Every structure is written in C-alpha cells, then in structure tokens.
A and B are shown apart, each in its own frame.
Chain A
Amino acid sequence: MAEAAVDAPITKLAAALAQREKAGDVVVAPFLTAGDPDMDFTFEALEAAQAAGATLCELGVPYSDPIADGPVIQASYTRALNAGASLEGVFGLASRASAQLSMPLVAMTSYSIIFRRGIDRFAGEAATSGLTGLIVPDLPIEESAALSKACRQSGLALVRLVTPTTPPERAARIASESTGFLYCVSVAGVTGERVSLPQQLKDRVLWLKEQTDVPILVGFGISRPEQVREVGEVADGVIVGSALVRHLEAAGGSGSDARQAVLATIASHVGDLVTAGGSARGSRTGGDGR
C-alpha cells in the first residue's frame, strides 16, 4: 500500500498533534456524541471546544449496543438515536465541522456500523466528509485487516487501543500498528469518570512510548485538571469523554438559554484541562517524543 498522500486526512491529524508536541503542551481531546441533542448543537460544541484549546475532537457515532461504554455515554447515544441521529447526519456534521474548523476530527464508532455500511464505503465516506481517522473500540487487531487496508487507501488514521489487560507482546504489536495516535486505556472497564488512576499507568505509558512513534493519548476515567497534569507528565495527551457528555442531557428539549449554558460549561471544562495541560509542560518527561 502506498504511503498516504500529503493531503490525506491523516496529515491534518498528525500536524495538529505535532504542533502541540513542539509547544510542549498536553493534547486535550474531548469526546462528544454526534447528535445529542442534535447535530447543530454538536457543531457548536465542537466550535466551543476548539476555541477553548482542544487539539482534536473525537466524534462518537451513536450506537444502540455500545458494550465498551459506561452509563453516561450509553445514555447519550440512546438520546441521539431517539432524536433521529443517522450515519448520514454524522457525516454531514463532520463535513460542516471539517470545513469550518481547523481542529481535526476522529470518529469513534462501533464495527457493527462500519460492517453494515460496507468497510470500503465507510472509510471512503469518512475521508470525504473530512474525518481524519477512526477509533473502533470493538475491533481487536486480529479482525482488523480489511478496515486497516481501507483506512490506508482512504488516508485515514486507524487508532488502536491498548488496555491494562493487554499482555506486553500484544501491546507492542498494537502500538506499532496504530496510526495517528495510540489510545492508551487507563483502566480495565468501561468509559466513565474515575476518582483515581492506576499507579502503574505512568510506567505503562513510558513503556509504550518505546514501542511506537505515534503520540500516546490516555483515555477512560479522565475528567479533572490534576489528572491531566499527572498523565501529561508522561503521555502526549488525554481524552475526556463522559465528564463532558454528562452535560449534554441538559441541552436537550429546552430553550436556547439551556443550550448556551451547556456550551459554556463544555468550553470552561475543556479550557480548565487545556490550562492544566499547559502548566504540565515543565514537568513532562520524554518531551522530545520521538
């Protein structure tokens, strides 16, 4: 397979990550459900996240049976689907956001949705709509050859996940095959906020950095500035999902005041994490990355 062209979607993602790396800032990657409560709101929330300093955004594609997700994201997906969110709608949102925002977008989607659409067709439509990569939490590496090929052909990143239960040999293989960045899952379990992060997390991230050239972002359980500082000492960035998504319910079915209030909450939460990520720069180890 040929290398991705210069204007391939993954290039936009890599450039945004490299820029933060150069500045020494911790990447803050918010996760937002597409279409909760509606696609227009999600667009405004993406705008707010970019303005607050997010490096990239993960766009959650609503799915009826998300087994990797905790109650907060599951409920958000259910609200979005009940409000009529469709794959067309998600790609439409991605097209609009990628045209108007500089921040790269990565879709988080179940393989059930990709398979039903058709693997090549999905990758092609994702790239056309301006998405820069895919995270497919229910697709282990053994099953991923076809999608991996389709992503290479479409110039999309295929972000892999390693977890605390992944044995070292397997983790090394996953890390080396991940493109765009590597998603390091902080805890064994589903998505959702956690009070504390495991002690061994830093050691794992440092070990993973030796296995791959792509940046490492830590997700699951991250919600607070002090966690960003802690994780930012070793990792390139953090992904924050449930802590933001839990606010979305308040934006549904109410007037514009409530929507504005939720946007402000998301902006200030992302802003706090970005600020914490900036102040972590002095203490970062291995800041030269690769």
Chain B
Amino acid sequence: MSEKIRVLLAKPGLDGHDRGIKVIATAFRDAGFEVIYTGLRQTPEMIVNAAIQEDVDAVGVSILSGAHMTLFPAIKRLLVDRKAGHIILFGGGIIPEEDVKALEAQGIDKLFTPGATTEETVAFVRKAVAGRKDNEKIM
C-alpha cells in the first residue's frame, strides 16, 4: 500500500481558534498523509461536500467553542445521507467527558481532548483507515 491516506481537516462554526488544527495538519503531513485543510467557518454542508469531492479517507474536525453537540452530529448525519458514512470522522476540542461519550455513541469515530498528542491522533487515523479498508476487502 503505497497510496497516501487522504485526510480533510476542517473548522466548522464560528470558532476561529485554529492553533490545534494547524498543529495537527503539520503532524499529518510530516507523517506522510495527504492533507486538505478547509480553512475557517465551514458549514457542515461545506465540509461534507469537500470530503466527497476530495475522496478522502478521514475527516478531522476541531471545535473549541462549545458547539460540538450541534456540529458533530450534523456532519455525521450528512455523511451518512450522502452515502459517505464509511469516511472516518474524528475530532478534537474542548469537549467534556460525558459529551465525548454521547458523541462517540452517535457514530463519531474518535474525539481527542486537550493533552492528546499528535502521534496518537495520527496512529488512530492510520489504524482506523486500514481497518476499514480490510473490511471492504472482506465484503
């Protein structure tokens, strides 16, 4: 498998705190991923459109504004509606533990909270994408 994993990184909502997503973007790039960064102020529709057009393996979303309970489920719902539910959806931000559990129960693959390392984030996506591709082969 020499093909690069493609990951879309996105900032939804009005939140402008982009330190985290930029650090993550650089870490993914350094780890050999193909990184597409949407920039700020994306609606869930814009993010899902970009994910489908760019044919990505994973979408990473950063939210530090507290709007995570609205935005993550909206993105997940749109991915499923657009037959792109196989795309790994992960994220990070200021998200209380109980909200992490609730969101992961709604199908968000993984949420990282303050203190998570870039290495574990990269490792997660690598493994999740590989796992999904294996599944597809079996099917």
Q: Does A associate with B in a complex?
A: no
B residues neighboring A (CB under 8 Å): none
